[in-house]
Amino acid sequence: MWQQARNYIERWLFAPLQGRTPAVRARRLGQFLYALLRDLLGGQLNLHAMGLVYATLLALVPLVAFSFAILKVFGAHRDLEPLIYEFFRPMGDAAGALTQKVMDFADRVRGGIVGSVGLGLLIWTLVGTLKKVEDSLNFVWHVDLPRSFMRRIAEYLALLVVAPLLVAALIGMAHMPQVGSSIRTLSDLPLLSQLLRGALAMVPLLVVSGMFALVYALIPNTRVRTLPAIIGGVAAGVLWTTIGSVFTTFVVYSARLNIVYAGFAIFIAALIWTYFGWLILLIGAQVSFYVQNPSYLRVGLREPKLSNDETEQLALGIMYLVAHSHLKGGRRWGINDLSAELQVPGVLVTRLADAFEAAGLLVTSEQEMLIPGRDASRIPLHEILAVARSANSVHGDSRSSAPAAVRAVCAQLEGAWRGAVGDQDLESLVVNSA
SS3 at position 304: coil
Note the pLDDT of residue 279. 92
As beta bridge partners, residue 333 has 370
The predicted model gives 278-300 an average pLDDT of: 87
198: CB partners within 8 A, 6+ apart: none
Domains and CATH numbers, the chain: 41-296 (no CATH), 308-433 (1.10.10.10)
Is residue 165 a contact partner of residue 135, using CB atoms and an 8 Å limit? Answer: no
The β-bridge partners of 364 are 370
218-276 pLDDT, tens digit per residue, is: 888 888 889 999 999 999 989 988 888 787 777 666 655 555 555 566 777 778 888 88
State mean pLDDT over 396-417: 74
Task: Select the more confidently predicted residue: 84 or 185.
Answer: 84
pLDDT at 114 over 60: no
Q: Would you state the pLDDT for residue 161?
A: 67
Q: What mean pLDDT value characterizes the chain?
A: 76
Distance, in Å, from the CA atom of 241 to the CA atom of 248, rounded to the nearest integer, reads 11
> Does residue 186 carry a pLDDT above 50?
no
Q: What is the pLDDT of residue 402?
A: 73
The three-state secondary structure class of 362 is strand
Q: What is the pLDDT of residue 246?
A: 80
**pLDDT (average), residues 321-336:** 84
pLDDT tens, 40-54?
888 888 888 888 888
401: amino acid identity, one letter: S
The predicted model gives 152-168 an average pLDDT of: 67
Q: Is the pLDDT of residue 196 over 60?
A: no
pLDDT at 331: 81
Lowest mean pLDDT among 86-100, 253-267, 275-289: 253-267
Per-residue pLDDT at 285: 92
Return the sign of the alpha-carbon dihedral for residues 395, 400, 401, 404.
positive
| Arithmetic mean of pLDDT, 69-81 | 61
* Rounded average pLDDT over 59-87: 66
Q: How far is CA 407 from CA 225, 249, 396, 404, in A?
A: 49, 68, 16, 5
pLDDT at 193: 55
DSSP class of residue 365 equals -
What is the pLDDT at residue 355? 87
% of the chain surpassing 70 pLDDT:
70
pLDDT confidence bin for 166, thresholds 50/70/90:
low
